[in-house]
C-alpha cells in the first residue's frame, strides 16, 4: 500500500510539473506577442512622425508638439487626420501654423468655452 501512495504522489508531481511548464510557455508566448505589438506601435509612431516632418512647417510641428504634451489623444487624432488628407491629396502641403490652428479648432469643438462673468 505504501508503493501506491508513492506512485500517486509521483504522478501528482509530474502532472504539476507539466502544468507549470505549460503555464511558463504560455507566458513566454504572451510576452513575445506583447513585445511584437509594442515594436509595431513604435514603428507606426515613427512613420507618422516622419510623415509630419514632410507635411508640416517647422512652426506647425512646434505647435503640434506642444498640443501633444497637453493632449496626446488630440495630437494623435490630428496626425492621423493629416496623414489621411495628405494621402488623398486633399490638403496643400506643407501645412502652415494657421492651417493647423484651423484643423485643431475643428477637431476640438467639444472643448468648453470659458467665460468670465463679473458679479
CATH number of the domain that residue 31 is part of: 1.10.8.140
Does residue 38 form part of some domain? yes
Does residue 117 form part of some domain? no
Peptide bond into 23 cis (omega under 30): no
What does pLDDT average to in each consecutive run of 10 residues of the chain (119 residues)? 78 95 95 94 90 92 94 91 88 88 80 68
Does residue 115 form part of some domain? no
Does residue 118 form part of some domain? no
User: In Å, how far are 16, 18, 40, 85 from 33, measured between CA atoms?
Assistant: 26, 23, 11, 32
The structural domain count of the chain equals: 1
Element (H, E) at 47: helix 2-55
Range of the domain at 86: 2-107
Cell of 14: 509530474
Separation of alpha carbons 21 and 6, rounded Å: 22
Measured from the Cβ of residue 68, the count of other Cβ atoms closer than 10 Å reads 15
pTM above 0.75, yes or no: no
Give the pLDDT score at 98: 93
Amino acid at each position: 500500500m505504501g508503493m501506491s501512495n508513492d506512485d500517486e504522489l509521483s504522478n501528482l508531481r509530474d502532472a504539476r510539473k507539466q502544468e507549470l511548464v505549460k503555464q511558463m510557455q504560455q507566458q513566454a508566448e504572451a510576452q513575445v506577442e506583447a513585445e511584437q505589438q509594442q515594436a509595431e506601435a513604435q514603428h507606426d509612431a515613427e512613420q507618422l512622425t516622419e510623415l509630419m516632418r514632410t507635411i508640416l512647417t517647422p512652426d506647425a510641428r512646434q505647435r503640434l508638439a506642444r498640443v501633444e504634451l497637453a493632449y496626446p489623444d488630440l495630437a494623435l487624432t490630428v496626425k492621423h487626420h493629416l496623414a489621411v488628407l495628405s494621402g488623398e491629396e486633399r490638403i496643400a502641403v506643407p501645412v502652415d501654423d494657421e492651417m493647423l490652428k484651423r484643423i485643431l479648432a475643428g477637431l476640438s469643438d467639444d472643448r468648453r468655452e470659458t467665460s468670465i462673468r463679473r458679479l
